[in-house]
Amino acid sequence: MKKKWLFWLVPVLALAAAGGWGFNKWSNTGEPASVFYVPNAGDGSISVVNPNDGKKVDTIPLGTKQASHGIAISPDGGIIYSGTGFEGKSLLAIDTKTKKIVKELKFTEGVHGIDIGPDGKYLYVSLNPGLGKTGGGLAVVDTVHFEQKALIQTGEGPAHVAVTADGSQVWVANVNGNTVAVVDARSNKLLKVLPVGKVPNEVAVSPDGKRAFVANVNSNTVSVIDTLTFQTVAEIQAGEAPHGVTVSPDGKQIWVANNKSNDVSVIDGNTLKTVATIPTGAYANHVAFSVDGKWAFVTNRQSNDIVKIDVAKRTVTARIPVGTEPHEISLEDYVAKPSESSKAPLNKIKTGQSGPVQIDAEKLGTEDLDSKQQVKDVTKADFEQYEVFRISFTTHSGDLTSLPIDRNVFLISDNKAKVAPAKWIVQSSDSHHPIYLALFPKYQPGKVSLEVGGIGDKPVTFTWE
């Protein structure tokens, strides 16, 4: 793909070299954001909103008739990443202090969705040919040099993008292909393309990384996907034309913005049932939570405003006029880290590589019993008797199920003794993505290692304290 620099400002680079942008505190740091940003697709501007008093404080013109529907912000809050939609076909970097465009990267297709990894090193930009047209891809952009590092073919018409909290995967909704794509962020390789409902516009991943939620505009549903098995585990009825979706910082609620019914659906994260519907404004478009999860903000595309909602009371407390056709909210870039959610402790899931095969090992506990897909083949009694590990494998070629993996997995204790599984359960027989449960006799508290062999020349070892 042809790329061209249009802007390069030496003073900006000097600022970055001197110690970062450092203008606003951003929610990726876990601290409250002083403002958030909303692109107005219909007039080529960005609205700057104070989430505390619920007022628009500024407008940033892009100098174009359009703005891309997606938006992202650097972890330190110093740079906004926006785009010029299908008209300008470019990605922009905007200084949050001066409100000036400091870099621009041109593409040959429209810039639609934009997201950023948790470390701020890479942007993930969906290039979309237009509704109903073929083509498109996911561009990976280095934020330091503002250069495209990779272009991944994810499916027809990629729309909005979501990066997992640990930065390991990028999920893309393919609005023209009725699919979602999963990309390995380390290798920039396509892991899987999954069928969902009709016209999937946005995907959100839970803070613990275990589930992905897809808003299917023309199916009036939300698809729920197990991120380890890549299987759809539920289809939830939403409002009319669900367009935007997000997960609360604690992972307990999923909120869906419904275009045609002018409301948001509130879904319980445990039961996966809709528990409330809240009227918003004309053509509810996207939704995002404040960092503390106490407030939700919904953009309304036709009434050209944002509503602020008290999450506990589920009532609208403010209505904020913005530009024409407001879309995604920059608060969506914040995803609570696994330790902040109600789920697994830090480092519970370990990832390794053996040649072309990615291995993910997870130490399961009784707290996982509420996840039917995770522990559907074990009981509470099994957890009392055994240590339970879930091991999944991913490759793009070859039949992994033909390998003697079950005879080459061992638990290694502090005294270096190797113990074979007492039980071996097959959860998925997918040749490229098999998943197993390995149950070992209980061990004394302390450091424990899981050795996984039978694939490459050397086994891969995972360690938990």
Q: pLDDT digits over 223-240, tens only?
A: 999 988 899 999 999 999
CA 7 – CA 1 distance, rounded (Å): 19
pLDDT at 375 over 80: no
Whether pLDDT at 369 is above 50: yes
In the block, residue with structure tokens 């993505």: 433
The residue written with tokens 């939609």 in the block is 85
Query: Per-residue pLDDT averaged across 111-126, rounded?
Result: 95
Longest CA span, the chain = 67
Fold of 5-340: Methylamine Dehydrogenase; Chain H (2.130.10)
Q: Whose CA is closest to 242, among 271, 268, 210, 277?
A: 277
Alpha-carbon distance values, 386 to 256, 325, 376, 440, 444 (Å)? 39, 55, 16, 5, 12
Return the higher-pLDDT residue of 417 and 440.
440
Nearest to 60 by CA among 29, 93, 13: 93
CA angle 61, 65, 70 (to 5 degrees): 75
pLDDT at 72 over 50: yes
What average pLDDT does the chain have? 86
Cα–Cα dist 313/367, whole Å: 28
CA distances from 21 to 7, 16, 33, 51, 97 (A): 18, 6, 15, 22, 9
Per-residue confidence (pLDDT) for residue 287, from 0 to 100: 98
Q: pLDDT over 90 for what percent of the chain?
A: 62
Report how far Cα 293 is from the mean position of its chain's Cα atoms: 17
Which H or E element spans position 88? helix 85-88
Among the ranges given (67-71, 231-235, 349-353, 390-394), the one the predictor scored with the smallest mean pLDDT:
349-353
User: What is the token pair recorded at 331?
Assistant: 């608060």
- The kind and range of the H/E element at 369 are none
Task: Identify the band that residue 120 occupies on the pLDDT scale cut at 50, 70 and 90.
Answer: very high
219-222-224 Cα angle (round to 5):
135
Taking the domains of the chain in order of start, what are their residue ranges? 5-340, 349-464
326-346 average pLDDT score: 61
Distance in angstroms (rounded) separating the CA atoms of residues 367 and 378: 13
Q: Quote the tokens at residue 444.
A: 């004394």
pLDDT of residue 312: 97
What pLDDT does 411 receive? 92
The pLDDT of residue 18 is above 70? no
CATH superfamily entry for domain 349-464: Domain of unknown function DUF4426 (2.60.40.3340)
Query: Of 250, 167, 189, 177, which Cα lies nearest the Cα of 214?
Result: 177
The predicted pLDDT at position 16 comes to 38
- Distance CA(36)–CA(46), nearest Å, equals 10
Question: H or E segment at 41?
Answer: none
Q: What is the pTM of this model?
A: 0.73
What's the Cα-to-Cα distance from 173 to each of 66, 67, 184, 205, 231, rounded to whole Å? Answer: 21, 19, 15, 12, 16
